[in-house]
Structure 1
Amino acid sequence: MLLPVVAGVDGSDASLAAAEWAAREAVRRDRPLRLVHARHPRQRNVPAAEDRLRPDRSVLRHAEDRIRRTTPAVRLTPTPAEGPAAEALLREAGEAELLVLGSRGLSGFTGFLVGSVALGVVARCARPVVLVRAGEEPEDEHWPAADGSASAVTGYRDVVLGVDLTAPCDEVIDFAFEAAQVRGARLRAVHAWQPPSPIGLGDGEIALIPEFAQAEEWHGFLSAVLRPWREKYPDVEVAETVTRGRPQSVLVRAGSGAGLLVVGRRLTDRPAGPRTGPVTHAVVHHVGCPVAVVPHE
């Protein structure tokens, strides 16, 4: 059985944009789409008309109607789920290809507001989670037309993959290559490197060579890491970029103009609880395109 793409909806503009993106992704991957709206359990001895914790079923109905209008080819199932919302979404994601959630822009500021539910799900989910900003349109995934106007029929924008060459992860790289393949898009693999600090040598023997040659060494490592994936996905065009700088800043810049940015998140059992990490935290708050957070060991 094919695992579905799951989208969480709560009636907000951000969740509706995310649901529409999820529908398009489901069609690209030839997967069914499951729309999920979490509802709190019915309170005892409280009439249904007075139970304000129960959501309006129109939330799912409205999202379903919108998806059927915009993406009629998708195989869609609306699914009410018992809350709290984060727990319900995590349960649904456990049997999903990927989970899609919404985030909304901060008016007057650079960045996006990612709610506590979405952040909690990203930090704990064992399946890939894609965050989609409010206002995301089909045209945003495509290059502009020849006259500069927005288009939904031109080629797809790049899929950008953040690669940590000190600990490259198969799950993250495979997700990015597959996303590029189903779009017919170019994959742009990006690694950010920093010279060693005066306190320590940095990453292995590479820190012993002159600084001007370190970028070339990192590029060689990146090519070697990607070689088996190029062979697995021969139809995917790949561009490799090695940039000096902090990973957070490099990836935020790389995500500008991209169709999708893919980063990893390490699964941990630390006493402090699940966290997204500084790089993931930065990109989900400051990158305008959809961001896929892929968990890995």
Structure 2
Amino acid sequence: MTRPVTVGMNNTVGSVGAAWWGAHEASLRDAPLWLVSAWEWQPYSRASLGSNEMAEQWSRRVPVETAAEIHRSYPQLDIRTQRLTGPPPEMLRRAASESQLLAIGVGGLGGRTGFLGGSVASATVSVTERPVVLVGSGRRAVERGEQTPGNDNPGPVAVGPVVVGVDLGRPNEEALTFAFEAASLRSARLDVIHGRHRPPARDEQMLQNTLAPWFERYPDVAVREHSANGRPARELADAGTGAALVVLGLGARHHRRGVTRIGHLNHAVLHRCSAPVAVVPQR
């Protein structure tokens, strides 16, 4: 059975948008779409009894309603919903373990368009062993050749290149594979951004050597290379303005269960980037 694309839904503004993004991704991958809600009772929080009950009802109702709306635009998709009870990061981690990727909808930070607006998103990224895609709210562009969802549906799927950050000293092979595959599925260009700390000719040779296996595996993907000149976080975030997807690697030293640190560069990009961002752990 083909592993599904899973979307973790909660009561954030980006949650329904992430479901639409996941629907498009599932259609590209010819995969099922799972909409999962994770709810945990908070008896000792400041939330009132009424707000706890509203959140519980939301976790039951909205994924089912969203699945019905998506099915009208993507009738070929196998769409399933599941409600889990327990700590959301752990529940989402378990759901992701059976999936190709996990998408989460997130809002901005104040007036900015970046991610990690809540503890669930950051905790989930740090403990999940599958790629996690963080999808912001408010984007309505669609991929080339695809039917646009109705005007009432927030379809945050952008036309544009796929962008990937590469550390030439410690390249993340899983992130590169994810980025090349994403570009191939979209018939999109892949923009490779890397830091430059050596003579240009040496960096260029290192990059070519690093990417050689993927050039052979994905001959259909056009690649554009760009040096960040010592500012990779800013360059990656700026490149995301017109991108379909930005792909970041999560190093093994940052990826331990129970540790929420995701690395300074990733943290900076996630706070600035407006495109969907995939964080891919190194195995």
Identify whether the pair has TM-score above 0.5, normalized to the shorter chain. yes
Q: Which among 209, 228, 232 is matched to residue 213 of structure 2?
A: 228
- Counterparts of 1:43-82 in structure 2 under 5 Å? 52=53, 54-56=56-58, 57-82=60-85
Alignment partners' CA distance in 1, 2:226 and 2:203: 10
Alignment partners' CA distance in 1, 2:239 and 2:261: 23
Equivalence for 2:30: 30
Alignment partners' CA distance in 1, 2:74 and 2:232: 36
The answer as to 2:218 corresponding to 1:215 is no
Distance 1:245 1:69, change over 3 A: same
- Counterparts of 1:126-145 in structure 2 under 5 Å? 126-139=129-142, 141=143
Equivalence for 1:176: 179
- Counterparts of 1:53-132 in structure 2 under 5 Å? 54-56=56-58, 57-106=60-109, 108-109=111-112, 111-112=114-115, 114-132=117-135
Alignment partners' CA distance in 1, 2:174 and 2:256: 21
SS at match of 1:245: coil
SS at match of 2:68: helix
2:264 maps to amino acid: P
Compute the displacement of 1:41 (Å): 6.9
Compute the displacement of 1:132 (Å): 0.4
Alignment partners' CA distance in 2, 1:254 and 1:114: 21
Compute the displacement of 1:112 (Å): 4.1
Alignment partners' CA distance in 2, 1:37 and 1:230: 38
Alignment partners' CA distance in 2, 1:90 and 1:270: 13
Distance 1:54 1:103, change over 3 A: closer
Equivalence for 2:13: 13
CA displacement 1:128-155 (0-9 Å, x = unmatched): 000000113243x559xxxxxxxx9xx9
Compute the displacement of 1:51 (Å): 7.7
TM-score by length of 1: 0.81
2:271 maps to amino acid: H
Residues 3 and 98 in structure 2, CA contact (< 8 A), matched pair in contact too: yes
Distance 1:142 1:276, change over 3 A: farther
Equivalence for 2:228: 243
Give 5+ residue unaligned stretches, structure 1. 44-48, 144-151, 195-205, 207-213
Q: Which among 248, 251, 255 is matched to residue 266 of structure 1?
A: 251
CA displacement 1:25-77 (0-9 Å, x = unmatched): 0000111010001133799xxxxx99837334212222212222333332100
CA displacement 1:169-213 (0-9 Å, x = unmatched): 21111110000011000111110224xxxxxxxxxxx4xxxxxxx
Distance 1:156 1:184, change over 3 A: farther
Equivalence for 1:278: 264
Equivalence for 1:203: none
Alignment partners' CA distance in 1, 2:256 and 2:27: 37
Distance 1:256 1:215, change over 3 A: farther
Structure 1: which 4+ aligned runs deviate by more than 2 Å?
A: 39-43, 49-56, 69-73, 105-114, 136-139, 267-274
The answer as to 2:258 corresponding to 1:255 is no
Residues 114 and 284 in structure 1, CA contact (< 8 A), matched pair in contact too: no
The answer as to 2:277 corresponding to 1:291 is yes
Compute the displacement of 1:217 (Å): 1.8
CA displacement 1:96-138 (0-9 Å, x = unmatched): 1000001112453463452110110001110000000011324
TM-score by length of 2: 0.84
2:206 maps to amino acid: F
1:10 maps to amino acid: N
Alignment partners' CA distance in 2, 1:92 and 1:98: 10
Alignment partners' CA distance in 2, 1:80 and 1:110: 29
Alignment partners' CA distance in 1, 2:161 and 2:217: 19
Between 227-236 and 62-71, the greater mean CA deviation after superposition: 62-71
2:200 maps to amino acid: A
